[in-house]
Structure 1
């Protein structure tokens, strides 16, 4: 016999969530060309002004921005392709916006038809602010026509968010879909320090032999946050390395501080433990990629360059050393500089010449040594704009100042790495010069978190500032 269950009077059934409307600004699509698929089952509105701005931007000489604009336009075209004009204005299903259930819908709003006669507090369309105001007006129009519904303007422009709020728009947000962390302090560092004795916190451990290596096998429940190639150490001098991880166990290889501190690359010795751990990752032949983060002056570039010379000239592991970095505003300026690509890149890559001088400054003929090393190591300076579409085999590749790159840009660069190559990605999240990127949305942050579980990638955050005591003061206090 079936019995009925009576709910307490203070419990009420939740109302089903309604469809939300998101009006996207141009900078959202430039930041993430696939953003139209990021709003699940909800409605995405693209104002005509945004399409006009994308049309202007796709022909810019700034290749990185124009490329994102073209991709965004192609994404929109795939969705609205053969739909009728009335259907496009009403909304067309967005393939891939949800894994199951109702798809999201994309609508193009003809904001050029809006005028001040409508019963909506529109912003005026003065020439200086015409585009921003027209996009805000679209959100205001939707809000007035759909009272009680959630209508939100999504933009990465802080001032535009303030203007929209001040104009009466109830919901205004930054684009957060590309955030991989809630707090930058949670970013993986590549190591974990235990207070006291490391083994005091381990209840169960046994020893296994894999090939020529003896490993300590620790249940995953003891080290739930461990990931491959992470260092574990304590206050008593113990240090170990996570060799690999499976569903049930973490396999740890014990190392020693002396072994780490006695490493040498091209005459360079580590000056702190974090540099030593970074050197161990760089010299690990099983790692195809190493990501080094840290403040200015922590030695990231010097370590990467020293290992490159060591691996090419002494160990013969690679045939060339390729150095590249983000160079805003590259497209407008590089063409006006004389010389070859390497000579055009020289102003932006002077830091590598400075580090070569550090490595060879004590030589009897320093400049002669530097030129000789550049030629012998086949050092090539490249612009990131010209790396796309190429494949680099047998190369040691350094990507410097990567904190200003988007997730999409970093992916397109790393996918260029060919056989028998290693890539080292360097960056300082405190020195982002892209106005649409924050530490939480940087491609470097995305790369660190996504590469963390990959067994052929290593991560290391180098904290200690060794450039000078003045550099340390500036980093901490200015």
Structure 2
């Protein structure tokens, strides 16, 4: 049986992490409880998670003594640990300062010394704490239950070589049966190429059953003034405009057109086709670099710095679509057809019959993503856009963010589609910067 000593950031990252260590001992230092107490008054997601942890521990306290250990529903045992003050304080003996991290390390070392036959592991999302633990001969691990490695991430696309006869049959029948043996996911996009002439291609996708290929929606004429410039953008517009698909994830580096295409499709579906009540565009309020401090003014004025990229995209779409149906973005926002908001206030809502675009989704945790998707009501379509290599949230990284999490979890679902946009189209300079820098 192993002894897992948990750091505060593990519980704040995933309040349900107590149940993810199988039938082993889960040990929480008393300092972690004190830190959670400091977070619980915050109105942020961290505050919500802290309150969830406190309630979970309180319910376990009613089942037995947290000092002696309470059995968890998965067969493990939870215990709150603390060190009695000794004449030679081990913390002061090892470290020069008596910080919370050092006291947690000291307690983990004491557990390792008291139970030499059991495997003691410190679990923390703090890299420096793991380094210090390793230096002291204590095994340390990151919390990896919800980690998804980018190199193994589902791309949503594949290529397939077929004979000239099969290509002709596909163009005639509008479908092509897939051979057995390989696993294909619903809405996985496929480029069919003719064996004798690879330049002859057809853009297709796997149907909801996963057994045949069907053509994608033809969007060569463009959507709200935006014309697809490459194969991935054709795939993206198909997913965005397919009424059967309710969740779309668009992943790509800066300048690949993720947000612009999502908003163009949303405007078409909302303003022109009137299939949704409004277009809702939201993004997490996490800045790049140093914070600006408290901003004066109304809620709209406070959110303006974070929402300006969305307004820029709306202005560009207004300029591009100069046809009879064109309307300025300001007019659409005043009429309520477009709503721009922060994700901070989404908890508790039920959002029905709306086209939702969640921008910069790589800054969300898996729990935040779950909170957002569970707000979706009947008739709503939700699009997540993000780049796992541009993360500003200090509490997630390229493997533990919620954006990668939903891509991995929803790939086998018939109502979801994922496209990885690879070619930058913003400008030649932006494409060079994304690749070189």
TM-score when normalising by structure 1: 0.82
Partner of residue 153, structure 1: 122
Partner of residue 131, structure 1: 100
Superposition pairs of residues 97-176 of structure 1, within 5 angstroms: 97=74, 103-111=75-83, 113-115=84-86, 117=88, 123-124=94-95, 126=97, 130-169=99-138, 171-176=139-144
Which of 218, 242, 245 pairs up with 2:206?
242
Superposition pairs of residues 64-463 of structure 1, within 5 angstroms: 64-84=45-65, 88-95=66-73, 97=74, 103-111=75-83, 113-115=84-86, 117=88, 123-124=94-95, 126=97, 130-169=99-138, 171-179=139-147, 181=148, 183-194=149-160, 197-198=161-162, 215-221=175-181, 223-224=182-183, 226-235=184-193, 236=198, 237-245=201-209, 250-255=211-216, 260=218, 262-328=220-286, 336-339=295-298, 341-361=299-319, 369-376=328-335, 378-463=337-422
Q: Which has the larger radius of gyration?
A: 1
Is the CA contact 1:363–1:369 (under 8 Å) kept in the aligned structure 2?
no
* Equivalent position SS for 2:207: strand
Is the CA contact 2:287–2:306 (under 8 Å) kept in the aligned structure 1?
no
* Equivalent position SS for 2:275: coil
Distance 1:429 1:262, change over 3 A: same
TM-score when normalising by structure 2: 0.89
Distance 1:333 1:378, change over 3 A: farther
1:73, 1:122 → 2: CA distance? 32
Partner of residue 100, structure 1: none
1:144, 1:56 → 2: CA distance? 30
Partner of residue 31, structure 1: 13
What's the offset of the Cα at 1:119?
A: 7.3
1:20, 1:335 → 2: CA distance? 46
Structure 1, unaligned runs of 5 or more: 1-18, 98-102, 208-212
Distance 1:135 1:119, change over 3 A: closer
1:64, 1:83 → 2: CA distance? 29
Alpha-carbon RMSD across the aligned residues, in angstroms, is 2.7
Distance 1:220 1:342, change over 3 A: farther
What's the offset of the Cα at 1:78?
A: 2.6
Distance 1:254 1:265, change over 3 A: closer
* Equivalent position SS for 2:177: strand
Distance 1:470 1:220, change over 3 A: same
Distance 1:51 1:120, change over 3 A: closer
Partner of residue 46, structure 1: 28
Is the CA contact 1:325–1:401 (under 8 Å) kept in the aligned structure 2?
yes
What's the offset of the Cα at 1:362?
A: 5.9
